[in-house]
């Protein structure tokens, strides 16, 4: 991309997190994972619609962007995730 001419602007974007803003602020409830119950089946990771469940020795939630939709809690086969009211 040559930017020599300062009047030239192009309608392009770069892949990045947070294109919709700090979506963690949308939450009313947030998922809390009970590590003792978790069997690491990764169903929550598979279906999370925001890529905010990450796998690292088990699973953890990226609360910066998690919208609190509750899909993870709903698909967990052992009910290791509960949706808890945000303080």
Partner 1 sequence: MKIISGNEAVALAVKLARVGVVGIYPITPQTSIIEKLAEMKANGELDADIVRVESEHAAMASTFGAAIAGVRAFTATASQGLLYMHEMTWWVAGSRVPVVMVVATRAVGAPWNIWDENTDFMSERDSGWLMAFASNPQEALDLTLQAFRISEDERVYLPMMVGMDGFILSHMKTNVIIPSQDEVDLFLPPRKQPFVLDSESPVGMGNIFPPIEYMKLRHSIHEAILHSEEVIREVGMEYQKITGINNYSTLNVKYKLDDADYAVVLMGAWAGDAMEAIDELRKQGLSVGLYRIRYIRPWSEEEITSALKDKKAILVIDRATSMGRGGPLYLELKSTLHHEQMCGVVSGLGGVLLNKGDFKEIISRFVERAKKGNAKGVTWYYPKGGEKVELKSPRYVEE
Partner 2 sequence: MSLSLRDMLKSNSLLSGTSACPGCPENMAMRMVGMALGNDVALIVIAGCSSVIQGLAPKNSYNFPVLNIAFAAGPPAASGMWRAYRQRNKNTTVVVWAGDGGTADIGFASLSGAAERNENFIYICVDNEAYMNSGGQRSGSTPFGAYTSTTPEGKKENKKEIMFIMMDHNIPYLATASVGYPHDFVNKLRKAKQIFGFKYVQVLTPDPYGWMFDPSKTVEVGKLAVQTCYWPLIEYENGKLTVSPESLHCLEKSTRRPLKDFLQIQGRFKRITEKEYKALENYVDSMWDKIKKLIE
26 binding partner (options partner 2, partner 1, none; Cβ < 5 to 8 Å by kind): partner 2
Residue 65 contacts by C-beta under 8 Å, 6 or more apart in sequence? Answer: 17, 18, 22, 23, 24, 50, 52
Q: Which residue has the tokens 């949706």?
A: 83
Residue 68 binds to partner 2 (criterion: CB under 8 A) = yes
- Cα–Cα dist 49/69, whole Å: 9
Closer residue to partner 1, CB minimum distance, 10 or 87: 10
For the bound state, the minimum distance from the C-beta of residue 23 to partner 1, rounded and expressed in Å, comes to: 15
Among the listed residues 20, 34, 39, 79, the single contact to partner 2 using CB under 8 A: 20
């Amino acid at each position: 991309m040559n930017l020599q001419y300062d009047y030239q602007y192009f309608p392009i974007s770069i892949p990045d997190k947070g294109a919709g803003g700090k979506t963690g602020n949308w939450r009313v409830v947030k998922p809390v994972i009970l590590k003792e119950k978790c069997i690491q089946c990764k169903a929550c990771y598979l279906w999370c619609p925001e890529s905010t469940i990450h796998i690292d020795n088990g699973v953890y939630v990226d609360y910066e962007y998690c919208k609190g939709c509750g899909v993870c809690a709903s698909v967990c086969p052992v009910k290791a995730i509960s949706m808890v009211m945000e303080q």
